[in-house]
Amino acid sequence: MQTKRIVLKSFPEGLPQESNFEVQTVELDTNLQEKELLVELLQVSVDPYLRVRINPNYPKGSFGAISVGDDIDNASIVKVLESNHPHYNKGDIVAGYSKWQLIQKLKIENIDHYQKFKEIEGIPLSYYLSVLGLPGLTAYFGVLDVLKVKKGDVIVVSAASGGVGSVAGQIAKIKGCYVVGITGGEEKIEILKQSGFDQVVNYKSANNNPKKLVELLKNVCPNGIDCYFDNTGGFILDAVTTLMNTRGRIAFCGSITSYSDNVDPLDTADLGPRLTSTYILKSLRGEGYTVLSYESEYQNAIKEEIEWIKEGKMKVLETKESGFENIPKAFVKLFTGDKIGKVVVEI
């Protein structure tokens, strides 16, 4: 049978463009081997870290590099059309990693990586790609395990209107923190305040000047900052670091300001950690992490987040696109700021 897929056509230079991707029609052998499924793509998550994977200088890490001509894989929701696997049946809805391809075969060796689920009243499928998927779990473990927030902490979250940041801020608020978000645009500020953020700073008002951003943050964090959930790196990280309180904690979750740099990190002007003396004098702790380290704890976290949603303690922010061919368009939106919350494509 024939189906459509999207591959990487060229490496982006700077910000990704729709032209970096190509839709192709391909032949698919539907005969299934042992532990294989034939599935239909229903919904696709697009995430900033994919920009790192389509970089020719991508460092070795938890996720594989994507080269020109390669299929692109990411978190998705699929429906099982045919099964030759003892754990899955025709008609099952499954969340896991799959290719940007309408109909495809999945070979599943580890069923923990592909979760079957039934629809829950009040919980749309897309939530399993956002608050109940990797973005929400990344926020959950970053706030509760890496930062170990406690009641009364002052926490700042950058990229606060994104799929991870919007959840991180709300979890911190549920735990009794004073929560400050950093985002761009007045409309996003209002939405975040309606979602429980105590204050929100518009980083665009600082014009990429860390000293100006420091002054904006001082106005809303007069007693300093205890925890910082960093999604951006760059001048925002520098500004927040200078306001950290003694023994403050920083979770390095993302670095979207550098994702579009197609250069070897060792060729850049600034090498090594920034503001090292501040870390020393204030006894700061910074920890990088990926959500894959917490795989055994996913289900307990999802159950707790579902309860928060049902109780009205957590709002889910999403931007949705429709249509398979619009997956690249949705991905580009991550870097133009033309979105709020998690970006999901409904096929």
The tens digit of pLDDT for each residue in 209-225 reads 889 999 999 999 999 99
**pLDDT at residue 336, as a whole number:** 82
- Is 172 within 8 Å of 152 (Cβ atoms)? no
Start-to-end CA distance of the chain, whole Å, equals 19
- The answer to whether the pTM exceeds 0.85 is yes
Q: In this prediction, what percent of the chain has a pLDDT beyond 70?
A: 93
Read off the pLDDT of each residue in 29-44 and give the average, rounded to a whole number.
Answer: 96
**pLDDT at residue 119, as a whole number:** 74
Closest alpha carbon to 92 in 109, 106, 71:
106
Distances (CA, A) of 225 to 27, 30, 157, 309: 55, 56, 11, 28
Digit-coded pLDDT (tens) for 113-152: 898 887 787 889 999 999 999 999 999 999 999 999 999 9
Cα–Cα distance measured from residue 77 to residue 44, given in angstroms and rounded to the nearest whole number: 7
Please check the confidence at residue 89 and state whether its pLDDT lies above 90: yes
The model's confidence at residue 59, banded by pLDDT at 50, 70 and 90, is low
Cα–Cα distance measured from residue 100 to residue 345, given in angstroms and rounded to the nearest whole number: 11
Q: In this prediction, what percent of the chain has a pLDDT beyond 90?
A: 73
Cα–Cα distance measured from residue 137 to residue 297, given in angstroms and rounded to the nearest whole number: 10
**pLDDT at residue 257, as a whole number:** 56
**pLDDT at residue 273, as a whole number:** 65
Please check the confidence at residue 195 and state whether its pLDDT lies above 90: yes
Closest alpha carbon to 157 in 217, 97, 87, 211:
217
**pLDDT at residue 27, as a whole number:** 96
Read off the pLDDT of each residue in 151-170 and give the average, rounded to a whole number.
Answer: 96
- Is 248 within 8 Å of 226 (Cβ atoms)? yes
Digit-coded pLDDT (tens) for 244-300: 999 999 999 987 655 545 555 556 555 556 788 888 999 999 999 999 889 889 999
How confident is the prediction for the chain on average, in pLDDT? Answer: 91
**pLDDT at residue 272, as a whole number:** 54
